[in-house]
Amino acid sequence: MTAAVTPSGPDEDAPVRRDRVNGWLATINPITKRLVAERTSYSSQLIPVTPYVMVSCVEAFLRYPDAVATITAAMEPEEIGMEARRPGCQANSVFLWGVANFFLIGRNVLRAVDPAVDDGPNALDRAHTVLDFWARTSRAYRGGDHLHAAEVDDRLDVFDEDTVSALVATAIPVDDGRRDRIRRANATIINHLFLLYFDTRVGHGDTGPYLLADGRKVIIRDYYRLAESDLAWSPVAGGVPYGNLTAVLVLDPGVEVRITDFGTTVSTPEDYLDHLSGFALFTSDGVGPGQPLTPLSDDEMDAVASAARIAQRRHYRDIAAMGRDQRIACGAYVYFTFLRPFAELAGVADDIDWTCPRDTPEDLYPLVTADVETPRPDPDADPYPSFG
């Protein structure tokens, strides 16, 4: 089911808004269920991932409606979605997924504590504010009448033909030696980003597949905020020479590729890098919208990987020295600020308080951060209940 995304007017009846919100939930539920089921589970001995996710989602439920209102007052969601259709922009598919789902997970958490959460006079309007923004931005970003990549056979082909052609034109053929070099650098940079984003995979994201005339397929991979950034702990990565990278991966014909809403490539054969025939690397640092990216050499790629490896070792030691609540706060900031790239596109990021945690009730914090095993969700149940 696909819901209409017409913004509500001041005189719109509550039943109309309720039906629209429930339509979005009917669209989100089966896809979120599938994505969560497909996601490889991960348990960290260093970072309390589940507690920080719970805190960030509670914060998202409590604060996203006001933050979204600030964003949409500055720029229409459709404009934001269109602006995001360029390499190097982190207002991407998984961040869109997070905007909707973190708010809804937070709603679930607070409903478990207080079933009357949905009964307040503004409960429906708050959900509509967030999901309306998500839906309108998502459709514009995807360039179609769909809200998820899963609705179109896991395609995230969001960059226009001219952009893709310009990037592919610089790709250099890959032999066995260069393929190994690229594989090592890619693994090192992704490992660095995984820890920098507190044991989550959102520091890089793929789009595509883009089909070339000769049957080859292209994946465009962005690596975000590798160096010092808004992340308070990121000075540890101050030696990484570039903040944002974009890689072009050209694969041989016959490799089947799909890219999920999490920006994750799934391929047959599984190891698609074995079939890498062309590669190019760029940085979007200092590049404005519509301007060509700056190409980087393989030596510069290796320099990034070397600096990232050093930063990762230092960052691991820094995390080990943190207290548990500090680790939770850092991880919660990563997730809560999934909304930030959209605010940056609208030019209002500095108008929003990104402190996290901030509004989680004191009596709720120990409950959502307790070291308990998270129960497995019912595979037959919808993740998010509709509004009655």
Per the DSSP assignment, residues forming a β-bridge with 257 are: 267
Give the pLDDT of residue 42.
58
Q: Choose among 25, 248, 263: nearest CA to 150.
A: 263
Q: Give the number of other CB atoms < 10 A from CB of residue 246.
A: 24
Alpha helices in 244-387 (DSSP H): 298-320, 324-336, 340-346, 365-368
Q: What is the pLDDT of residue 380?
A: 79
Only one residue has tokens 């504010």, namely 129
- In this prediction, residue 289 carries a pLDDT of 83
pLDDT of residue 128 exceeding 90, the answer is: yes
The pLDDT-based confidence of 372 (bands split at 50, 70, 90) is confident
Contacts of 262 (CB under 8 A, 6+ apart): 35, 39, 93, 94, 97, 201, 205
User: pLDDT band at 375, cuts 50/70/90?
Assistant: low
Whether 174 has a pLDDT exceeding 70, the answer reads yes
Identify the band that residue 373 occupies on the pLDDT scale cut at 50, 70 and 90: confident
305 has pLDDT over 70: yes
pTM of the model: 0.94
The C-alpha atoms of residue 346 and residue 375 are separated, in whole angstroms, by 39
More reliable by pLDDT, 37 or 285 = 285
Query: Is the predicted pLDDT of residue 33 greater than 70, yes or no?
Result: yes
Q: Where are the domains of the chain?
A: 14-153+323-368, 161-320
What mean pLDDT is predicted for residues 159-172? Answer: 96
How confident is the model over 333-349, as pLDDT tens digits? 999 999 999 999 999 99
pLDDT at 5 over 50: no
Q: Taking Cα atoms as reference points, which of 96, 191, 112, 206 lies closest to residue 155?
A: 206
Query: What is the average per-residue pLDDT within 161-183?
Result: 97
Q: Across the chain, what does the average pLDDT equal?
A: 94
Percent share of the chain, pLDDT over 90? 88
Rounded Cα distance between 4 and 21, Å, is: 9
Q: Is the pLDDT of residue 7 over 50?
A: no
Select the more confidently predicted residue: 138 or 44.
138
Is-contact 340 45, C-beta < 8 A? no
Cα dihedral 124/129/132/137 (nearest 10): -160
The arithmetic mean of pLDDT across residues 144-156, rounded, is: 96
Distance CA(386)–CA(228), nearest Å, equals 41
CA distance 46 to 68: 33
- Centroid of chain to Cα 43: 20
Q: Helix, strand or coil for residue 217? A: strand
What mean pLDDT comes out for the span 296-305?
98
40 pLDDT tier (thresholds 50, 70, 90): low
Q: Is the pLDDT of residue 4 over 60?
A: no
Q: Which residues are within 8 A (CB) of 83 and not within 5 positions of it... i.e. 6 or more apart? A: 89, 91, 289, 345
